[in-house]
Amino acid sequence: MQPPLAAEVYRGNMVESRHYATVVIVDYTGKVIYAAGDRERLTSLRSGAKPLQVLPLFTTGAMEAYRFSLAQVAVMCASHSGQDIHQEQVLAILRQLGLDESHLQCGVHRPFHRATARALREAGEEPRPRHNTCSGKHACMLAIARHRGWDLETYTELEHPVQQEMLTAVGRATDVGRDKIAIGLDTCGVPVFALPIYNIALAYARLSRPEGWRGRWREGAEAVRAAMGQYPELLAGQGRLVTALLETYRGEILAKDGGEALFCLGLPERGWGLAVKVEDGSDRALDAIVINLLREVGVIAGSLPAALEPFASPVIKTHGGQVAGRIVPVDLL
Is the per-residue pLDDT at 128 higher than 90? yes
Q: What is the mean pLDDT of residues 250-259?
A: 97
Please state the pTM of the whole predicted model. Answer: 0.97
Model confidence pLDDT, tens digit, residues 159-183: 999 999 999 999 999 999 999 999 9
Is the per-residue pLDDT at 213 higher than 90? yes
Tell me the residue range of the domain where 181 lies.
Answer: 5-329
pLDDT of residue 170: 98
Q: How many domains does the chain have?
A: 1
Percent of the chain's residues with pLDDT above 70: 100
pLDDT of residue 299: 95
3-state SS, one letter per residue, for the chain? CCCCEEEEEEECCEEEEEEEEEEEEEECCCCEEEEECCCCCEEECHHHHHHHHCHHHHHCCHHHHHCCCHHHHHHHCCCCCCCHHHHHHHHHHHHHHCCCHHHCCCCCCCCCCHHHHHHHHHCCCCCCHHHCCCHHHHHHHHHHHHHHCCCCCCCCCCCCHHHHHHHHHHHHHHCCCHHHCEEEECCCCCEEEEEEHHHHHHHHHHHHCCCCCCHHHHHHHHHHHHHHHHCHHHHCCCCCHHHHHHHHCCCCCEEEEECCCEEEEEECCCCEEEEEEECCCCCCCHHHHHHHHHHHCCCCCCCCCHHHHHHHCCEEECCCCCEEEEEEECCCC
Q: How confident is the model at residue 333 (pLDDT cuts 50, 70, 90)?
A: confident
Is the per-residue pLDDT at 1 higher than 90? no
Model confidence pLDDT, tens digit, residues 67-111: 999 999 999 999 999 999 999 999 999 999 999 999 999 999 999
Q: In CATH, what number is assigned to the domain containing residue 33?
A: 3.40.710
Average pLDDT, the chain: 97
Q: How confident is the model at residue 30 (pLDDT cuts 50, 70, 90)?
A: very high
pLDDT of residue 263: 98
